[in-house]
Structures are given as C-alpha cells and as structure tokens.
Amino acid sequence: MGKEIERKFLVKEGKWQPKGEGELYRQGYLSTVKERVVRVRSAGRNGFLTIKGATVEYTRLEFEYPIPLKDAEKMLDALCEHPLIEKQRYHVEHDGVVWEIDVFKGENKGLIVAEVELENETQEFDIPDWAGQEVSKDPRYYNANLVKHPFREWGADG
C-alpha cells in the first residue's frame, strides 16, 4: 500500500531563486471528490496516473502508475478538468532532505510552494530560511483545488 506523508510551505518572496531549468509538469484531474482524487500528469517525457485518498493530518494513500506520455497528453487535453495545473518543478537538497519547489504558471502564476515528503509524520526536519508559512492543512493549496479556484482569482482575503 502506498502512502504519501507531505508538508507544504509557501516560498518567501525573493528568498529563493531557481537553479537550472527545472522540469515542466502539466497535470489535470479526472476526479476531485473529497474522498479521492485521480490525477493525470506529464513530467518531462513521462506520463503518470495517480490515485490519492483523503488527507488525514499529513498522510494519505497514494498509488502512482507510469502511463505512455501520449496517453497522458490526450487525457490532459480531452478528459481532465480545466484549467490544467502547469508548473516548473525544482529539486533542492537542504540538510539531507530533498524539497520539491513548484513555480506555478498559467492560472496559478505567482504561487510558489515547497513540499517535503517524509518517512513518517513525526520525522524531524530543518525548515530552510526560504520556506515561509506552512500550508499543509490549508485545502486552498491542494493542486486539485487550484483547478477549481486558481490562485490568480484569490482576492486579498485568499
């Protein structure tokens, strides 16, 4: 059984700069009900189908399967809810832990989120100085919700 244990933080403006080109991710959702999401993703030259359960604290069930890139692209264009999530992903090592930093594009341009996957919910880790407010439990920052309520539509109140 697959599990994802993840913590998310906003990246402080001006505190982090991308190194290298990162990798372009396009992703969309076939299902976004509270109990589960079904995601299609293209990442570089690879395609994936991912099923995730509901989040409890920082953990949820996750099953991910490689699929042909052409199939992923067709599903993204023809079957997934729009707008798609488009982001440039960077991997940054900090204090022995790899962080994934997503610089969103399109409808979510301006949003930069850093995620760290953990072995267990009590794992200690050092938070980099460029990581700001934790948003792990804020559903607005779930990618599936960013499809329905893109970042650019948020007002001053979020």
Instruction: Record the tokens describing residue 26, joined without a space.
Output: 């396009």
DSSP H or E run through 101 = strand 97-104
DSSP H or E run through 80 = none
| 146: three-class secondary structure by DSSP | helix
Cβ atoms 80, 48 nearer than 8 A: no
Using left for φ > 0, alpha for ψ between -120 and 50, and beta otherwise, residue 153 falls in alpha
How far apart CA 119 and CA 5 sit, in angstroms, is 7
Q: Could you list the active site residues?
A: 29
